[in-house]
Amino acid sequence: MIPDPEQERREILRRYKELLKYAYPLVPDREERKQIKKAFQIAVDAHKEMRRKSGEPYIYHPIAVAQIVVQEMGLGATSVICALLHDVVEDTELTLEDIEKFFGPTVARIIDGLTKISGVFDNTKSIQAENFRKIVLTLSEDIRVILIKIADRLHNMRTLEHMRRDKQLKIASETLFLYAPLAHRLGLYNIKTELEDLSLKYVEPEAYQEIINKLEKSKDVRERFIRQFTQPIKKKLDEMGLVYEIKGRTKSVYSIWNKIHNKGVPFEEIYDIFAIRIILDVPQQLEKSEIWKTYSVVTDLYQPKPDRLRDWISFPRANGYESLHVTVMSPTGKWVEVQIRSKRMDEVAERGYAAHWKYKESNTETAIDEWITRIRELLENKEEEAVDFVDAFKLNLYTDEIYVFTPKGELKTLPANATALDFAYEIHSDVGDHCLGAKVNNKLVPLSYRLNSGDQIEIITSQKQTPKEDWLNFVNTSKAKAKIKAALKEEKKRIAEEGKAIFERKLRRLNFNFNPEDINTLLKYFKLPDEQEFFYRVGKGIITSQQIKNFYREEGKKSWYSYLTNRLSRKATKKKEEKENFDSLLKKFDRGSEQLLIGDSEEKIDYTLAPCCNPIPGDEVFGFVTINDGIKIHKISCPNAIQLLSNYAYRVVKAKWVGAETLSFLTGITVKGIDEVGIVNKITKLISNQMKVNMRSLSFDSNDGIFEGKITLFVQDTRHLNELMEKLKRVPGVTSVERIDQA
């Protein structure tokens, strides 16, 4: 279909006016409104020849991002301008200097943070991780970079149906791995929920659609239940003269899938599939007292579950979230979660950082400010690899938290599973470095002791104590990990410097002069990665005088310099060889396989099946180019898929099964049910006699009338396996049949 320029022009103006409808109430200043108009005109002109994958004019995207920024985040003029211009430097002729000339240094700095890193990367670097690190580097200066980036990602996810399947998986995985947790950490609950749901739609399309269908079918029953449940609560609150609003909130599709997938709970048994939210319109100084009064009303009417009280008004979450959650028993015997909060708390919960800033008192540092301080500390380590940096950053996006106390009663928030050593580093890096032990609730505990909410901790230090390598095995906060790594690196550097002096003294005793060029031959001889490691081992006494003496005897001066000459000539072509090796890696393993087509050219290439998910024909899969083991095939639903697709998309290749009908693949199933005489015989007969499937191993265990069996068997493909599982489910006494992904 040929686009109509006049129709598109009218549509662009309509979308722009829609944006202004939300922006103008937040931007009363006339000069700022002029700047927004200028940004729109520049963006329209810069992107005029560009189109999205859907065929639409590209300008639709920046307008949509700007609308998310203002409508769903509540940000102001600068953010709207940056959202409209966020792609111009990367995709058009405009430069950062042009942006600074038109809009000033603040807008230019934010646009720079939003512009992807360009240039050539070698094949060992993750471009996604490098780009994410660049965004986070700007976060410590201006958090609007991250907020606009999240808005950009949200609109891309909303329009992802127009992308190729492999691109959909890469973007959805990256979103689940980083952007959804980041939105959560900034308190953007609605956006975080939508990002997770949209990601699931592309990563697990069948599971997503199944949950959507079940929610739709149960919608009328749910709404009727909510009306009946809330009626007596409304009556009591009206009698108290409170101004309030009651909403029913359905659990997100992703949260439901998580419970089904990770905890093995069927959809029908998820008791918190929806929650009742009571929002009180009260002054800030009366919030706590009115919330607890409302709690009293709810628990007078319905029996509470003691272990399900969550008090986030006394101890707000690290993302600023405040609410009181209680789970109560309804008259129909169902557990129902009731969330009680003020209007202010609800706005902070829904709109996150922007609302937090609106209500922030000028002289107080909140949990979000503390988090940004932690990120600044994380950024101090500029030498860290980008992928390691992203992993460390993810540790700062934890969702489960504990609240612990110093000996003087000061409250500290830590991630769940934090240890006594994490707490020591939370106090101060010097306290952590010299931590000898800890007292938790006046009892002596080791450094690896896992803390619980409510613990009071006293740290015992000694100036003789220094960080140890094994500390990295049990600390959980990024701050502790970064400080320990930095201390160990500094210590290693110090020992290496001493080792170099020792080495030169030893050479003088052996009547040799040290030539810096000799180091490459030494590294080759001792099989070490770099000179610091060599000198470190000399300093620690691991490499002895006798070993150095043996090296000089074996090599000799003549062979020494001959070796160096060859080494230098090879070094000149090393980079070229590395590139050729990577480009030819797919073809290098070609042995004419007929089971799988790999890559854009759909070649028949050798591969191995990843043991972490044990894919079989029929499964949706992708290939991952490993450093040493060729191509490994993973299922799209593999536990490691999200991290691989997010951090290493440049090593992912397309793969699809073909012509595997006559082949058999090993997989496993778990069968559970009610134990009765002959049940194992019925199951094995169905597998062997009816379905003609060969079994490799089986084991059955029975406990209190319930049996569980694990069977490994050979099937042709996913369809064949699903057919077998459906027939097993119909065997009398069998209650569930599930596939075991890991061989």
Q: What is the pLDDT of residues 679-712, one digit of tens each?
A: 888 888 888 877 778 888 888 888 767 888 999 8
What span, in angstroms and rounded, lies between the C-alpha atoms of 713 and 667?
A: 6
What are the angstrom distances between the C-alpha of 37 and each of 5, 33, 84, 104, 115? 21, 6, 10, 15, 22
Note the pLDDT of residue 124.
Answer: 45
- pLDDT band, very low/low/confident/very high, at 564 (cuts 50, 70, 90): very low
The verdict on whether 91 is a catalytic residue reads: yes
Counting every residue, how long is the chain? 743
Structure tokens at 459: 């740290």
Note the pLDDT of residue 91.
Answer: 84
The verdict on whether 90 is a catalytic residue reads: yes
Structure tokens at 618: 């029929």
Residue 656's nearest CA partner among 614, 608, 603, 586 is: 603
**Looking at residues 45-55, what average pLDDT do you find?**
88
Q: At what angle do helices 127-139 and 105-114 cross, to 10 degrees?
A: 150
Q: Which of 26-30, 284-288, 642-646 has the lowest mean pLDDT?
A: 642-646
pLDDT tens digit sequence for 59-73: 999 999 999 998 888
| pTM greater than the 0.85 cutoff | no
Q: What percent of the chain has pLDDT over 90?
A: 23
What span, in angstroms and rounded, lies between the C-alpha atoms of 454 and 411?
A: 9
What span, in angstroms and rounded, lies between the C-alpha atoms of 384 and 486?
A: 10
Contact 137, 379 (CB under 8 A): yes
- Between vectors from CA 67 to CA 179 and to CA 38, what angle results, nearest 5°? 120
**Looking at residues 442-464, what average pLDDT do you find?**
88
Note the pLDDT of residue 376.
Answer: 57
The alpha-carbon radius of gyration of the chain (Å, integer) is 31
**Residues sharing a CB contact under 8 Å with residue 237, sequence separation 6 or more, in sequence order:** 244, 278, 294, 297
- Between vectors from CA 274 to CA 268 and to CA 275, what angle results, nearest 5°? 145
DSSP output for 28-90: --HHHHHHHHHHHHHHHHHTTT-B-TTSSBTTHHHHHHHHIIIIIS---HHHHHHHHHTTHHH
Average model confidence (pLDDT) for the chain?
Answer: 80
SS3 state of residue 701? strand
* pLDDT reading at 149 higher than 50: yes
Residue 323's nearest CA partner among 300, 361, 295, 365 is: 295
- SS (HEC) of 595-630: CEEECCCCEECCCEECCCCCCCCCCCEEEEECCCCC
Contact 64, 152 (CB under 8 A): no
Edge-to-edge strand ranges of the sheet holding 695-703: 695-703, 706-715, 665-674, 734-740
Pairing of strands 310-311, 324-329: antiparallel
- pLDDT band, very low/low/confident/very high, at 265 (cuts 50, 70, 90): confident
Query: Which amino acid type is present at position 598?
Result: I
Q: What percent of the chain has pLDDT over 70?
A: 79
Note the pLDDT of residue 202.
Answer: 93
Note the pLDDT of residue 286.
Answer: 92
Name the region of 521 (left: φ>0; alpha: ψ -120 to 50; beta: rest): alpha
Helices (H) and strands (E) in the chain, counts: 30, 21
User: Which DSSP symbol is given to 26?
Assistant: G
Q: Which residue has the higher pLDDT, 364 or 653?
A: 653
Note the pLDDT of residue 155.
Answer: 94
* pLDDT reading at 48 higher than 80: yes
State phi, psi for 317 to the nearest 5 degrees. Answer: -65, 165
What span, in angstroms and rounded, lies between the C-alpha atoms of 60 and 15?
A: 8
Contact 387, 126 (CB under 8 A): yes
**Looking at residues 288-300, what average pLDDT do you find?**
94
Contact 246, 294 (CB under 8 A): no
**Which residues does residue 310 pair with via DSSP β-bridges, in sequence order?**
325
The one catalytic residue in 11, 56, 91, 388 is: 91
**Residues sharing a CB contact under 8 Å with residue 249, sequence separation 6 or more, in sequence order:** 274, 275, 276, 277, 339
Note the pLDDT of residue 13.
Answer: 93
Note the pLDDT of residue 351.
Answer: 72
Note the pLDDT of residue 667.
Answer: 85
SS3 state of residue 691? coil
Note the pLDDT of residue 180.
Answer: 87
What span, in angstroms and rounded, lies between the C-alpha atoms of 481 and 476?
A: 7
What span, in angstroms and rounded, lies between the C-alpha atoms of 726 and 597?
A: 29
User: Which DSSP symbol is given to 116?
Assistant: P
> What DSSP element (H or E) covers 3?
none
Structure tokens at 590: 């070609």
Note the pLDDT of residue 479.
Answer: 81
- pLDDT band, very low/low/confident/very high, at 20 (cuts 50, 70, 90): very high
What span, in angstroms and rounded, lies between the C-alpha atoms of 447 and 483?
A: 16
What span, in angstroms and rounded, lies between the C-alpha atoms of 532 and 496?
A: 6
Q: Which residue has the higher pLDDT, 584 or 618?
A: 618
* pLDDT reading at 444 higher than 70: yes
**Looking at residues 75-104, what average pLDDT do you find?**
90
What span, in angstroms and rounded, lies between the C-alpha atoms of 265 and 733?
A: 19
DSSP output for 400-413: -EEEEE-TT--EEE
**Which residues does residue 603 pair with via DSSP β-bridges, in sequence order?**
598
- pLDDT band, very low/low/confident/very high, at 239 (cuts 50, 70, 90): very high
Note the pLDDT of residue 367.
Answer: 55
Residue 713's nearest CA partner among 679, 664, 678, 672 is: 664
Residue 179's nearest CA partner among 411, 331, 390 is: 390
The one catalytic residue in 4, 29, 45, 90 is: 90
pLDDT tens digit sequence for 405-431: 888 888 787 888 899 999 999 888 899
Longest dimension (CA), the chain: 100
Q: Which of 120-134, 165-179, 299-313 has the lowest mean pLDDT?
A: 120-134
* pLDDT reading at 227 higher than 60: yes
DSSP output for 648-681: -GGGEEEEEE-S-TT--EEEEEEEEEE--TTHHH
* pLDDT reading at 2 higher than 80: no
* pLDDT reading at 390 higher than 80: no
Pairing of strands 608-609, 631-635: parallel
**Looking at residues 612-626, what average pLDDT do you find?**
83
Task: List, in order of start, the domains of the chain with CATH numbers.
Answer: 5-203 (1.10.3210.10), 212-359 (3.30.460.10), 400-467 (3.10.20.30), 487-568 (no CATH), 587-657 (no CATH), 665-740 (3.30.70.260)
User: 495-525 burial by CB neighbour count: b if 16+ within 10 A, else e?
Assistant: bbeebbebbeebbeeeeeeeeeebbebbeeb
